[in-house]
Copies of this chain bind each other. A is one copy, B any other.
Amino acid sequence: MNIRGIFTSCATMAALGSMAGNPSKPNIIFFLVDDMGWADSSVIYGDQTYPLNLRHHTPNMQRLAAKGTIFANAYACPVSSPTRTSLMSGMNAAHSKITDFTTAVPGVPSDASHKPDALKNDVLVHPEWNWNGISPESGIPHTVQVTPMTRLLQDDGYYTIHVGKGHWAAAGTPAASPYNLGFCVNVAGQVAGKPTSYYGKENYGNTKEMWSTFSTMNMTEYYGSDIHLTEALTREALKTLDYPVKNNLPFYLYLAHHGVHTPITPDPRFVQKYLDAGLDEGQAKYASLVEGVDKSLGDVLDYLEANDIADNTVIIFMSDNGGNSENKTKGGVLHTQNAPLREGKASCYEGGVKVPLMVYWPGKTHGSRTEIPVIAEDLYPTILEIAGISGYNTIQQIDGKSIAGLISGNEAPGISYDRELVFHFPHQWKPYPLEDIDYMTSMRKGDWKIVYRHRTGKLELYNLKDDLSERNDLSKKNKKKLREMASALSNRLRGWEAPMPTFRSDGRQIPYPDEL
């Protein structure tokens, strides 16, 4: 029998055994880290090695990078829920109107707007936005109805597994259950945006003293143990793979770690070496969380090899937003922790939105790097293309473009270096104001970046090729480019009917950038 004959025979058998076991269907693992900065690993995403790249030991991320494609200019939203819902909807957050994090308390928005005292002296008022996140059903208040990417995967026969952090919908709404989004299996996935505790000894926050709506579910096995939450989630994830692997069902594993989000507490397996290396206590704790996630990635890679499916499993590695630069427990100096990038999580400067992204696609990637800018919502059509699913219908209009071509070192239709990528955060993040973080919109187009500060009505212009750290505002020097960028950004915001803050003084909406 020749090769073609074997494949024909396989196809016949696959048809007999329903849709299961189609060898043209790769498994897909989405390995999502929480709040990990662009330079927080020993994988070099930039065009040079920065001090942060030398700080954390992430050998397994390097192991993946060595055979994958690194995206030097990958972007997400400035905070968690907008990115996570963009992955599930394919929509830009300014379009879905999910511009801040969704709520764990039914009926109560989780952004600073539900604490009016926090905002009463501000010149701006938060806009209406979809604080209940996505919904697979119509008629749910403060949601955007979408066809979730995982629904299309499951409908195509994929065995879809959700492990870890959900945070794409509010408690009390349909999308709070991953089973409503096309997931077959849900381990620990719920609405919470962070863990109460990383420690088995503390039952991951499931004690009378510690319990909160953020306490991790489905981890009872490890209560009272020394098992770190990152490790526990990994072990549970790998257990859930046994059935699809044994039965030759293509799987999609969404392994969404809580690490390296706050609380910044030490992972005892790794913290001492970072203290020994001279990091301060906060930096060492954070480094230990990062290395815990790296160990998890290694365990996943080992599992795939041990089960002989590494050659048919695509791995997408990403963080949901930039590293947190406004938390003292991380050590170091606030607002500098993502150097060379400016600021961090929740900001529309590079530190908040530029994220690590790399993809391993067996047979198609070979340890290369691309400079072409890509954004979270691109992953929706990308994953479906990798899965070989086309011609699908969705309720929502997809903003992302498939980057499958870029992953394999080719062209990708609709994607150029000059594509407009929009970041929109019309909120105050914390109960106190933060100048370089709150109420911002920005857009990258080629090497240019426009930044709009809502409170002051000020526009800034940067050339990222020359000025990755966004310190040299060219808005006065290059008014033509500023006008061009302001116009393009305004068109995007108008077209999407993006939620815009209003002035407290007179209730008017703030101007679009091209009106300034």
| Extra pairs beyond A17-B21, A184-B185, A191-B220 (7, CB < 8 Å) | A8-B308, A154-B242, A159-B243, A176-B223, A177-B221, A177-B236, A184-B240
Q: Which of A120-128, A204-212, A443-451, A498-506 contacts B (4 or more CB under 8 A)?
A: A204-212
**What 1/0 mask marks residues of chain A from 152 to 178 whose CB sits below 8 Å from any chain B CB?**
001101010000000000011111110
Q: With A6-B7, A21-B9, A106-B223 as given contacts, are A218 and B159 in contact (CB-CB < 8 Å)?
A: no
Question: Does the CB pair A172–B23 fall under 8 Å?
Answer: no
Q: In the docked arrangement, what's the CA distance between A179 and B221, Å?
A: 10
In the complex, chain B residues whose CB is within 8 Å of the CB of A221: 171-177, 180
A476 at the interface (CB under 8 A from B): no
Does A18 lie at the interface of the complex (its beta carbon under 8 Å from any beta carbon of B)? yes
**Residue A190 at the B interface, CB < 8 A?**
yes
Determine the chain B residues whose CB is within 8 A of the CB of A187 once the complex forms.
Answer: 179, 186
Q: How many Å from the CB of A239 to the closest CB on chain B?
A: 4
Do the beta carbons of A248 and B13 come within 8 Å of each other? yes
For the complex, what is the distance from the CA of A178 to the CA of B411, rounded to whole Å? 45
**Is B18 a contact of A21 with CB atoms below 8 Å?**
yes
Contacts A171-B220, A177-B236, A184-B185 given: A23-B1 contact, CB under 8 Å?
A: yes
Most buried by B among A3, A242, A248: A248
How many monomers of this chain does the complex have?
Answer: 2
| Nearest-Cβ distance from residue A172 to partner chain B, whole angstroms | 4
Residues of A within 8 A of B (CB): 1, 3, 5-10, 12-14, 16-21, 23, 106-107, 154-155, 157, 159, 171-177, 179-180, 184-187, 190-191, 203, 206, 208, 211-213, 217-218, 220-225, 236, 239-240, 242-243, 246-249, 308, 311-312
Q: Which residue of B lies closest to A14 (CB)?
A: B13
- How far is it, in angstroms, between the C-alpha of A348 and the C-alpha of B417 when the chains are bound? 76
Interchain nearest-CB distance for A384 vs B (Å):
18
CA distance A173 to B200 in the complex (A): 12
Which chain B residue lies CB-closest to A219? Answer: B177
**Cβ-defined contact, B222 with A172, below 8 A:** yes
Q: Report A155 CB to chain B, min CB distance, Å.
A: 8
A190-B218 contact given A9-B10, A16-B17, CB 8 Å threshold: yes
Complex CA distance for A342 and B10, rounded to whole angstroms: 53
Which 7 pairs of residues, A with B, have the shortest CB-CB distance?
Answer: A106-B224, A17-B17, A177-B221, A217-B217, A176-B220, A179-B239, A176-B221
- Establish whether residues B172 and A223, one from each chain, have CB atoms under 8 Å apart when the complex forms: yes
Chain B residues with Cβ below 8 Å from A1 are 23, 311-312
Q: Give the complex CA separation of A312 and B312 in angstroms.
A: 34
Q: When the two chains form their complex, are residues A16 and B5 in contact, meaning their CB atoms are under 8 A apart?
A: no
Some 25 contacts from A to B, beta carbons below 8 A apart, are A5-B311, A8-B308, A9-B23, A12-B248, A16-B17, A17-B17, A17-B20, A18-B20, A18-B249, A19-B247, A107-B224, A171-B221, A172-B220, A172-B222, A172-B223, A176-B221, A177-B218, A177-B220, A177-B236, A184-B240, A190-B218, A206-B213, A208-B211, A218-B218, A247-B249
Greatest chain B CB density within 10 A among A16, A19, A221 is at A221
Q: What residues of chain B lie closer than 8 Å to A172, measured between beta carbons?
A: 220-225
Docked Cα-Cα span, A23 to B16, in Å, equals 13
Contact A190–B243 (Cβ < 8 Å):
no
> A248–B20 Cα gap in the complex (Å)?
10
